[in-house]
Amino acid sequence: MASRLFLRTCSLTLRARQNISMKVQPRVFASGRGIPTDDEQAAGLERRILQALKKGQDPYSIFKPKLYAGTKEDPHIVPGISNKRLVGCLCEEDNTAIVWFWLHEGNPQRCPSCGSHYKLIHHKLPH
């Protein structure tokens, strides 16, 4: 399931980026009914994921995260299920130490070391 979902996600992302709509060839055998597609035979969690992907949602954070500038106007978005979350900031690319701090819901907060801004956004679990 994971590999099929990954391939579907990659193809949807590539199509969305290239703004190409591909026509799906019907799968027809001699019986006339054909082979069911992934959408038709998916059940349970896989079905919910496929439906969410069609709506452009990312319930399990499988898409590449958006890059943020880390400024006050464009803070790093940190999803959380409670009103605070422990965040680790690798302030510079070559640092070997991580600066850990608690991020609280509300206004963006700054990393105590480098000053990058982070903002906690409440994230509802998909299940």
Q: Least distance in Å: CB of 115 to Zn ion?
A: 7
Is position 114 an interface residue for Zn ion (rule: CB under 5 A)?
yes
Q: Least distance in Å: CB of 93 to Zn ion?
A: 11
Region at 34 (left for phi over 0; alpha for psi -120 to 50; beta for the rest): left
Is position 91 an interface residue for Zn ion (rule: CB under 5 A)?
yes
Q: Least distance in Å: CB of 5 to Zn ion?
A: 34
- Give the helix ranges, DSSP H, for the chain: 2-18, 38-41, 45-54
Q: Give 40's DSSP letter.
A: H
Is position 113 an interface residue for Zn ion (rule: CB under 5 A)?
yes
Give the footprint of Zn ion on residues 31-90 (CB under 5 A): 89
Give the C-alpha separation, 97 to 117, whole Å.
Answer: 18
Is position 120 an interface residue for Zn ion (rule: CB under 5 A)?
no
Q: Is 10 annotated as a binding residue?
A: no
Q: Report helix, strand or coil for 21.
A: coil
Q: Which residues here bind Zn ion, judged by CB under 5 A? A: 89, 91, 111, 113-114
